[in-house]
Amino acid sequence: MTRTEDGILALMPALRRYALALSRNRQDAEDLVQDSLEAAFANLGAWRGANLRGWLLTIMTNMHRGRYRTQAGRARHDAIETAGDIAAPAGPDDPLERDRLIAAINLLSPEQRSVLMLVVVEGYAYTEVAAMLGIPLGTVMSRLSRARHAIADNLSGHNIVGLRRP
């Protein structure tokens, strides 16, 4: 196994969770990872040898954009299907909170979701995200802001009060 393959192997969890956030169900996410890696191997020459993760996530972002174009007309099941699709129970302990959060993430536009994931889960700085997605910094900030406000609105919109059990 080459060093590049080793590097990619270590990145598989990161690639999968980003793919899952973009495509929102496990099957599509697996396909997205596979297609992105296939494309990466076919174009290894284009990789400048630094920041493998950023390069792969960028390929995946573009692959996903292209996919949405071609699939926009098709009916498809599109939500993160909670229990089965997220690898293991994680996140808010209460399953209701978990489902609400997933539903709120699902409601974001793919552009907002991808910025949010790159910042929050992958830990990229805003300027790095701007470079990876090929968008101005201001656009990164406005997408991040909209994503956060939308999630907060969505979670509070239900007027839910968590209560101690009697």
Partner 1 sequence: MNRTQPPGVTEDDLHAYVDGLLSAERQAEVERWLAGNPQAASEVAGWQQQNRHIRALFSAEVPQEDDARRLADLAAGSARARRRWSGRVLAASAAGLVLFSLGAGAGMLGARLLEPPARTLASLEALPEAARASYLIYTREVRHPVEVGADQEAHLVAWLSKRLGSEIAAPDLTSEGFHLVGGRLIPYRDKPGALLMYENEKGERLTLMFGRNEQNTTTGFRFESTGNVQTFYWIDGPVGYAISGEIDRERLQRISDICYRQL
What minimum distance in Å lies between the beta carbon of 42 and partner 1? Answer: 8
Q: Is 146 in the site for partner 1 (CB under 8 A)?
A: no
Tell me the HSE value of 136 on the side-chain side, using a 13 A CA sphere: 3
CA distances from 48 to 40, 56, 91, 124, 133 (A): 12, 12, 36, 19, 17
Where in 44-63 is the site for partner 1 (CB under 8 A)?
46, 58-59, 62-63
Instruction: Kindly tell me which residue out of 51, 52, 54, 65 binds partner 1, with binding defined by CB under 8 A.
Output: 65
**Exposed/middle/buried for residue 41 (C-beta within 10 Å: 0-12, 13-18, 19+):** exposed
Instruction: Kindly tell me which residue out of 45, 48, 49, 70 binds partner 1, with binding defined by CB under 8 A.
Output: 70
The Cβ of residue 65 has, within 10 Å, a number of other Cβ atoms equal to 14
Q: Is 85 in the site for partner 1 (CB under 8 A)?
A: no
What minimum distance in Å lies between the beta carbon of 149 and partner 1? Answer: 8
How far apart CA 1 and CA 125 sit, in angstroms, is: 31
Where in 92-131 is the site for partner 1 (CB under 8 A)?
92, 94-103, 105-107, 109-111, 116-117, 119-121, 125-126
What minimum distance in Å lies between the beta carbon of 33 and partner 1? Answer: 7
What minimum distance in Å lies between the beta carbon of 35 and partner 1? Answer: 4
How far apart CA 154 and CA 28 sit, in angstroms, is: 25
Instruction: Kindly tell me which residue out of 3, 48, 74, 165 binds partner 1, with binding defined by CB under 8 A.
Output: 165
Q: How many residues bind partner 1 (CB under 8 A)?
A: 95
Going by C-beta distance under 8 Å and a sequence separation of 6 or more, which residues neighbour residue 5?
Answer: none
What minimum distance in Å lies between the beta carbon of 36 and partner 1? Answer: 8
How far apart CA 81 and CA 152 sit, in angstroms, is: 21
